[in-house]
Amino acid sequence: MISSLQNGISALKSFTEGLQVLGNNIANSGSVGYKSSRINYSDNFYLHLNKAETGADGASSNNLHNMGTGVHVSGVSTNFSQGVLESTAIDLDVAIDGEALPNAGGFFEVADPTSGEKYFTRIGSFDVTAEGTLVTRDQFRYEVQNTNGEALKYTLEEGESLLARKIDMDGTFNLIVNKEGVDSSRSAGQIMLANFQSPQYLRRAGNGYYTNGSPGQDLATKLNNTVPATQSNGKLTQYALELSNVDLTNEFAMMITHQRSFQAGSRVVTTSDQILNEAINLKR
């Protein structure tokens, strides 16, 4: 096999993976809290047929002969920039407004009540169980963690009726209640956020969730600041959800570029095949 054929094949494989990443971004352009991915390409190792040498007079030789072996996918990175905030009429819809802050302001930290495994998400669409525990709205029912690492849970006192739930920008969870005809407000807990030094090491787990590695690992280096609207954490916005940060215009432009690159790689394979065919026919 001539090296150009191998180069063309590596291009076809790599750009196929790139199209898969672009397709996934486009498919999730309407997914709440989704963060787009970007594929990174790099050249393969080189065959050094002639290396630089130093002559007897100390002058270096420029008779280099390096042959490239194609391209490969060096990694897939995540764009954690903030998506557009969409207003809703649901009081337990909460968005992280991080703007230009690192990780766009952090993540909600949640836990699987069965295994205890921790997950991180930008989807702030919550619900309350019959016991008053704040959970996310999915089939796994992850529990939202509060200051003490326990599930945020509230109960009404005897004679109280719930009028409203209010979540401040710093995560304070307040209840507006009526008792004996008197309206009052009281704190029912604190919603905390998680932030990371190296968010690119977070692993996607699907459903908008990320993990920080296996239990006991800290791949992304979790930071100690947990209170919203402080340090590198964004503020919370009630009655809102964060939409996907996928830029469809850019994605379709990149798709066209990948298509052209794939066609070019295919042409390299075709041309290499023609050269091999001519070499075989030389013997006839």
Domain positions in the chain: 3-56+64-75+247-281, 85-154+190-242
47 has a pLDDT exceeding 80: no
Query: Lowest mean pLDDT: which of 129-138, 146-155, 157-166?
Result: 146-155
62 has a pLDDT exceeding 70: no
User: How long is the chain?
Assistant: 284
The pLDDT, as a whole number, for residue 144 is: 80
The Cα 74–Cα 258 span in angstroms is: 16
- Strand segments (E) across 115-159: 118-121, 126-128, 134-136, 143-144
Q: How confident is the model at residue 251 (pLDDT cuts 50, 70, 90)?
A: very high
The pLDDT, as a whole number, for residue 122 is: 95
The pLDDT, as a whole number, for residue 140 is: 67
Tell which wins on pLDDT, 147 or 41: 41
How many helices (H) does the chain have, and how many strands (E)?
A: 2, 19
The pLDDT, as a whole number, for residue 148 is: 73
Q: How far apart are the first and last CA of the chain?
A: 20
Distance of CA 216 to the CA centre of its chain: 21
* Helix, strand, coil % over all residues of the chain, rounded to 5: 25, 35, 40
The Cα 154–Cα 228 span in angstroms is: 20
